[in-house]
Amino acid sequence: MNISQFQWTREPKNYILKEGYMEITTEPHTDLWQRTYYHFRNDNAPVFQTETEEKFFSFIVKTDFSQSSHRFDQCGVVMYLDSENWIKASVEYENEEFQHLGSVVTNHGYSDWATTAIPADVRVMWYRFSRREDDYCIECSRDGVRFSQMRICHMWEGGKRIRFGIYACSPEASSFPAVFTDMRITECAWKAHEGQQPD
């Protein structure tokens, strides 16, 4: 894919970009979250995205977070439309025993967070982000071949031109190098539903 078509929202101070490789060094106290439960609003994580009006496609990326070591350190896939409408999926470091593999969907200024615990020794994760008009699917994989569904969601503001790509952040007083490789766009791997017909 053409990385030159990607643009920053909040460009980080330190990053390395070369063919097929992006490394973002996170800055302390950076995050994406809106209101729900915690009542705070965090909207300062760096986001690197491209734009499209294509209604059916998949975006795949491999993330390496081998050097994350502080609570909530994270990097992953994102669709950031504006501060109140976005999706992200990542592994968030918790402690030496486990991490949170999860996703956040924010519609009209309210975030949710769906997670599952995974072992702390998982240090690489692939994501596949798929679009079918204004509905979206996020999947993850340990090997880039076999993907498992994390979430299906609807984005109220996600029916027209969108932006999608990668992000990394460290919500607390920490920093780590997040590495992204193997980025590519494919035909939509999230196939049309073949069961119950629409109402």
Which domains occur in the chain, in start order?
A: 3-186 (2.60.120.200)
d(CA 186, CA 94): 33
pLDDT band at 176 (very low <50, low <70, confident <90, very high): very high
Whether the Cβ atoms of residue 163 and residue 19 lie closer than 8 Å to each other: no
Q: What is the pLDDT of residue 38?
A: 92
| Residue 175, helix vs strand vs coil | coil
User: 65 and 29 in contact (C-beta within 8 Å)?
Assistant: no
Output the six-digit token pair for 97. Answer: 């025993």
> Starting from the edge strand earliest in sequence, which strands make up the sheet with 110-119, in order?
7-9, 47-52, 162-169, 74-82, 85-93, 98-107, 110-119
Q: Does the pLDDT at position 56 exceed 90?
A: yes
Sorted by sequence, the CB contacts under 8 Å of residue 85 that are 6+ apart come out as 106, 107, 108, 155, 156, 157, 158
Asked if residue 30 lies in contact with residue 174, where contact means CB atoms within 8 angstroms, the answer is: no
Q: Report pLDDT for 195.
A: 84
Helices and strands of the chain, counted as H and E runs: 0, 16
CA dihedral 42, 96, 88, 77 (to 10 degrees): 130
Rounded Cα distance, 94 and 68, in Å = 10
Q: In percent, how much of the chain has pLDDT > 90? A: 93
pLDDT of residue 120: 97
Other CB atoms within a 10 A radius of the CB of residue 127 amount to 26
The pTM assigned to this predicted structure is 0.96
